[in-house]
Amino acid sequence: MNNDNSIAALAGQSALITGGSEGIGLGIAEAMVRAGADVMIAARRRPQLEAAQQQLRALAQDGQRVEIVEVDIRQPDSVAAMFDAVDTEFGNLNILVANAGSGSMVPFLEMTEEIWQSTLDLNLNGTFRCCHQAATRMATRPDPTRNAAILVVSSIRALGARPGTIHYSTTKAGLNQFVRVAAYELASVGVRVNALSPGITATPMSIERNPETLAKMAATVPLGRPGSLADMGAAAVYLTSPAAGFVTGVNHIVDGGESLY
């Protein structure tokens, strides 16, 4: 997908991106700023948020807004406060990218109740809280013809079975079905809900921490490379833009063919 095609695709839109201070979330935020959206990024750590805000504001046009808000999506009160900030800063919300989440490699026989529950609370329950708050606002917006899109960041790990990922894969598989049911229910009020499932992605963290492992994994991808942040951003811009106005309930896989085997 050519990034040039997304220029001004989101002009006049407002977007909230959770987990937007780094990695794929920041890549999506950058693409949305380039596409003309007013963007609010949310995450737990303020120093990273402020650094990301500075980076994104350098890309913004005159009058284009980039705001930040601290949130822990595991806490209902924190999620409510985040949406209060959205209401105050933007008034209207067109786009939610529910990206916040995490995972780790833990063999099944070493899984603990704490790790299992923590992953569910963040990846599944936290995403539900954000989507429910966003959908409630979008369903009652003054102009129901305006763009209203929710994008849930899932993973191709929900599609296959790999050792050590049972907690992460289970939550992402749950999100895929969550997207389908929510898309069906919210279609009647003009709110679209889709999933984006990245494969191996070259994030600054993965490149810095273990470039050898990244290169080894990327060599197994049919297209011969890992995904880039620009790949994920371009897909996110399309799925949340008016150009995808007849697209809902899909799981858009961006993995270079990795999930084909």
Task: Check if 261 is active-site.
Answer: no
The two tokens of residue 42 are 């949310």
Structure tokens belonging to residue 246: 């007849």
Question: Which of 168, 184, 238, 261 is the catalytic position?
Answer: 168
Positions annotated as catalytic residues are 168
